Amino acid sequence: MILLDQTHKATSLAPDPERLVTLTLRLEASLRAIGGQGRVALASSLSAEDMVLTDVIARLGLNIEVFTLQTGRLHPDTVAMIERTETRYGLTIHQFEPEATALADFVSAFGLNGFYESLEARKACCGVRKLEPLGRALGGYGAWITGQRRDQALTRDRLEEREQDTAHDLVKYNPLAAWNWADILAYAEQFQVPLNPLHARGYVSIGCDPCTRAIRPGEHARDGRWWWENADTKECGLHQNNHNQEKIA
């Protein structure tokens, strides 16, 4: 399987079989335990990480629902992954869209693509298209799961596998925190997980189409997101605890 690694170099996967087995068994055990704790949901961006989690959830028949934030600015390949994933795994991915009035107010104030002009505008856009819909998506759940990894960004280097999401008063699980990009690709090959075609075109981190690009040679994965900003601002606000985690037992 040939894909791109995090420095935009072609790589033929040669995974460490023992490491992959260990990681997979640990992930399965973790998701089994999480799924037994009441209503739990996976927040999926249809990235490789979230597809790995979806595969485990479906393969083990776990009682974990899946949702995505349909921001209205997703890449067509990402939108196509929703139906592709539902068909492959026989599940429903619940979609949450921006509130129409709030979106119109944002466009009136900043312009459709005003997020390129200032951090204020970009955060306002993320607030309307992601944060408010996330709040609705999490309603009724006791915990949620993400595909975050520690090596994805400077803001995630102290990411815990289990943390308290104080913004939504929920427990948040990051079961892939210790995985690296090679681990994700190795699992995807082993279990024939469908992947977003953008990954094969140099997109490692995937978000909204106007705010995501393929990385250049030598760049870090997160350099493809909001590339006009400093590295320490490259979060949309979905994960407010990053760099300020509260570890819980």
pLDDT in tens, 158-216: 899 999 999 999 999 999 999 999 999 999 999 999 999 999 999 988 999 999 999 88
Cα(195)–Cα(173) distance, integer angstroms = 22
Q: For residue 230, what pLDDT is reported?
A: 65
Interatomic CA distance for residues 83 and 196, integer angstroms: 12
**In 44-98, beta strands by DSSP E:** 65-69, 93-96
Q: What kind of architecture, by CATH, is found in domain 2-233?
A: 3-Layer(aba) Sandwich (3.40)
Q: Rounded to an integer, what distance in angstroms lies between the CA atom of residue 11 and that of residue 3? A: 6
CB 33 within 8 A of CB 2: no
* Angle between helical axes of 48-59 and 76-89 (0-180°, round to 10): 10
Strands (E), 73-215: 93-96, 143-145, 162-165, 170-173
Indicate the pLDDT class of residue 32, thresholds 50, 70 and 90: very high
Per-residue model confidence (pLDDT) at position 72: 97
Give the chain's length.
249
Q: Are 232 and 154 in contact (CB under 8 A)?
A: yes
The whole-angstrom distance between residue 208's C-alpha and the CA centroid of its chain comes to: 12
Pairing of strands 162-165, 170-173: antiparallel
Which positions are annotated as active-site residues? Answer: 236
Q: For residue 99, give the DSSP letter.
A: -
CA atoms within 13 A of residue 188's CA, in its CB half-sphere = 23
- Per-residue model confidence as pLDDT tens digits over 94-118: 999 999 999 999 999 999 999 999 9
Residue 206 amino acid letter: I
Task: Check residue 248 and give its pLDDT.
Answer: 37
Question: How would DSSP label each residue in 185-238?
Answer: HHHHHHTT----GGGGGT--S--BGGGB-PPPTT--GGGGBSTTS-GGG---ST
Would you place residue 9 in the very low, low, confident or very high pLDDT band (cuts 50, 70, 90)? very low
Bridge partners of 65, per DSSP, are 41
Pairing of strands 65-69, 40-43: parallel
d(CA 128, CA 150): 26
Residue 228 to residues 43, 117, 143: CA-CA distances in angstroms? 26, 9, 33
Give residue limits of the domains in the chain.
Answer: 2-233
Expressed in percent and rounded to 5, the helix, strand and coil fractions of the chain are: 45, 15, 40
